[in-house]
Each structure stands twice: as C-alpha cells, then as structure tokens.
C-alpha cells in the first residue's frame, strides 16, 4: 500500500516538468483534476473496504502480507504462535 500512497509525490515532479513546457493555468487545471481523481479513487477504495465483511478484508490483507514477505513472520513482533496480535 505504500506504493499507492506515494503517487501524489510523483505527480509533483510531473507538474514541475509540465510547468516548464506549458502555460501555468493549464498545468494547474490538469494537476488539480488529476489530484481530484486520485482522491475520489482513494475514498471509493476505502468505502469498498468498509462495506466488505471484516474477515474478508483481514484475510486479503494477510494474503498480501504473506505474498510480499514470502510467508515469513520471523521479523514481525506482532506475530505470536502464527497469529497476528493487535498493536498496543
């Protein structure tokens, strides 16, 4: 999820490059529209995750985590006896 969260940072560099080539007004309109689309997509994704059953979301989260870490839980302090415990 970190990659998705970093998208606005990349748009900063794109807007700087576009600002050197095109009129400022059009660049501003384009950047504003792109950011609005990004926000709408993020809110929609959050709404979908909120509507789905909690067990399904947690199962999907666990599957993604296992895939990204290769199934290893050794370095994760929240995992005890193969179960994810809540942070305190």
Q: What is the largest CA-CA distance in the chain?
A: 59
pLDDT at 39: 92
pLDDT at 37: 93
pLDDT digits (tens, 9 = 90+) for 16-67: 888 899 998 998 899 889 889 989 999 999 898 888 888 888 888 888 888 8
3-24 mean pLDDT = 78
pLDDT digits (tens, 9 = 90+) for 72-84: 656 565 665 556 5
pLDDT at 1: 46
The residue extents of the domains of the chain are 2-84
pLDDT at 13: 80
Distance from chain centroid for Cα 4: 3
How far is the C-alpha of 87 from the C-alpha of 40, rounded, in Å?
30
């Amino acid at each position: 999820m970190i990659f998705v969260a970093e998208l606005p940072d990349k748009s900063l560099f794109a807007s700087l490059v576009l600002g050197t080539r095109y009129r400022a007004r059009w660049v501003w309109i384009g950047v504003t529209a792109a950011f609005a689309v990004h926000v709408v997509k993020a809110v929609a994704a959050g709404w979908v995750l909120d509507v789905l059953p909690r067990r399904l979301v947690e199962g999907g989260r666990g599957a993604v985590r296992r895939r990204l870490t290769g199934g290893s839980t050794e370095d994760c302090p929240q995992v005890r006896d193969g179960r994810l415990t809540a942070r305190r």
